[in-house]
Chain A
Amino acid sequence: MLLALAAAATISVLVTVGIVVVLVEEGALFFTDVPITEFFTGTQWFPLEGKFGVLPLLNASIVIALIAAVVAVPLGLGSAIYLSEYAPERLRRVVKPVLEILAGMPTIVLGFFALDAVTPALQMVFPGLGLYNALAAGIVVGLLITPLISSLSEDAMRAVPNSMREGAFGLGATRRVVSLRVVIPAALSGIVASIVLAISRAIGETMAVTLAAGTIPNLSWNPLEGMQTITAYIVQVSKGEATRGSLQYDSIFAVGLLLFAVTLVINIIAVRIVRKYRTVYQ
């Protein structure tokens, strides 16, 4: 019986091994046809014409994640400070679960929200903005990761012992000074880790960016243009009938491998940050 339980625990390792093996094996097939240097240095991604330079896709993922971070960091940190330092306990007990439910919002809903509400609103500000643009995608992805940052940062801030706050109050500090100079520095590792994790989530986000940012690969830093992210490309190929063994079929595993590597590195960075800079208070 114990062996059966242990076997169940091993399955989780098998899943990881499976992911790596599948991505590497199928990706290797792709790289026998497309040289790896061309993959990483090419600036054009037109699979039908045989041009496989991944930079436009990677660039789009990064641009959208950065826009998302610009939206989400002030909102998430602001609400975390409020919930942890200012809000009455009763309000906190209501808002916190609501935030957690919102963090689980299906991203397809946010994609629809981007197309249906955010883009029309942006078109009033920027006349001539196309239906598909990175800005709307970035904003909704920002909304998606805001609850994540806010919830995790708030946990980190509440872990700061009250004696530190009281010590600062005793020395005459105001609430703002306590929040900014005592609590935030003390909780910094947790806060930074939450932001890094949120960015990793934003890079892996799929449906909202597929719907809102369009399906045209575009190497550009202009957020008003449409662009295709790594995840959106995978969806675009899978949606049609890419036959098994074709170059397009293999290419989604190659870009998937890149996506997996990028998010894994970001997650490892987050874990490192927490481990290295965490201060444990009694």
Chain B
Amino acid sequence: MSTLETPSPPPPPSATATVRPLAKKRARPSEQLFKWLVVGLTAITMAMLICGAGSISWSFLTDKPSSNPAKAGFNSALRGSVVLMMVTIFFAWPIGVAAALYLEKFAAQSATLTERRLRERLTTGRVSGLGAGWVHARLWWLRIRPRVVHLIDVNISNLAAVPSIIYGLLGLAIFVGVMGISKSLLAGGLTLAVLILPIIIIAAREALRAVPISIEQGAMALGATRWQAVRSQVFPAALPGILTGTILAMSRAIGETAPLIVVGGVVFSTAVPSLNPLEAGNEALLAMPLQIYFWTDQPQASFQAIAAAGIIVLLATLLVMNLVAIILRNRYSKRW
């Protein structure tokens, strides 16, 4: 205590250290070394990744395969991919967005008001028999709901990390085995839909979360129910974000190979699939990555060249999808 209170004696003016001018202060060698190490690693990463993707395209844009019989084959792969994407989106988008809406906007809300209302109904005795049972069931649901929602949360993030080939096994056993769908574009599309479902849910939830709560509260203050507020205020505001996430999920699905091989095998088919998604159940499972795999797996060098050409088409498609997503994000993203 006493040591704190005694004032320290001021240092004698002669004892101050000479100040080194800042300009003469050199960075120590270890500093420079570390900085350049880090810069170098970044540069190597970017260079390897970009050249890796780029060199494939460039070397094969310049030397085209002379014999070109399989070129027509890529047409059917392209059509197959288009139909696959239509089937995938048709199933994954509504379910994914609905799940996100429920988890983000309805399940997470506080239930005290509803609970009080239900209890009032029980105590006033206005309900009896079956009605009372229903009220009890709703009360029980409200009590366990937070735990169920947490379980679904954990489950979705785990699903997003499951290897894609496992989804192929799921599709093979359920869609082909149990439901008896032939090894077709429909079975492949359904498998991809299951694969991107968690991705769409996560992206849509993030988009919904970005809409400030005041929008919803404002609508509800004017008399809208929560459902009306979500439907006509929150959902439209979140739509660009949801679409961006959907496009990114589709770009994941369009490059997936492994689950499609597991579901449908690698078939060699000269048939050109119809673009009508309603006929997807009868069309052989063809897709761009499958065709590329088929060509890459062949020993002859000419097939390698065609495979590279196919890769260019696939990468170009991906690039376009990503660009659309970025433009959509920049154009419609709002700062609230």
Chain A residues within 8 Å of B, Cβ to Cβ: 1-2, 4-6, 8-13, 15-16, 18-19, 22-23, 25-26, 74-79, 81-83, 85-87, 95, 97-99, 101-102, 104-113, 115-117, 143, 146-147, 150, 174-176, 179-180, 197, 200-201, 203-207, 210-211, 231, 234-235, 238-241, 244, 252-253, 256, 259-260, 263-264, 267
Chain B residues with CB under 8 Å of A240's CB are 265
Distance in Å: Cβ of B137 to nearest Cβ of chain A: 13
Q: Chain B residues with Cβ under 8 A from A113's Cβ? A: 52-53, 56
* A178 → B minimal CB distance (Å): 11
B39 CB to nearest chain A CB (Å): 6
Q: In the complex, are the beta carbons of A12 and B296 less than 8 A apart?
A: no
Instruction: Choose from B28, B170, B172, B256 the contact partner of A106 (Cβ within 8 Å).
Output: B256
Contact with A along B277-305 (1 / 0, CB 8 A): 00000000000010011001100000010
**Contact between B152 and A5, CB atoms less than 8 A apart:** no
Contact, CB under 8 Å: A12 / B152: yes
Instruction: Label chain A's interface by main secondary structure.
Output: helix
Interface of B is mostly: helix
Interface bracket on B: 35 or more
Residues in chain A near residue B155, CB distance under 8 A: 12-13, 16
4 new A-B contacts, CB < 8 A, other than A5-B102, A102-B50, are A116-B304, A235-B165, A238-B263, A241-B265
Contact with A along B19-34 (1 / 0, CB 8 A): 0000000011011001
8 contacts between A and B (CB under 8 A): A12-B155, A13-B151, A16-B158, A78-B38, A87-B42, A113-B53, A176-B35, A263-B161
- Per-position contact with A for B31-62: 1 when CB-CB < 8 Å, else 0? 10011011111101110111011011000000
Taking a contact as CB atoms under 8 Å apart, the answer to whether A22 and B248 are in contact is no
B106 to chain A, nearest CB (A): 6
Which are the 10 A-B pairs with shortest beta-carbon distances?
A204-B163, A78-B41, A106-B255, A8-B98, A5-B102, A206-B258, A79-B42, A176-B34, A9-B99, A82-B42
Complex contacts, B95 vs chain A, CB 8 Å = 8, 11
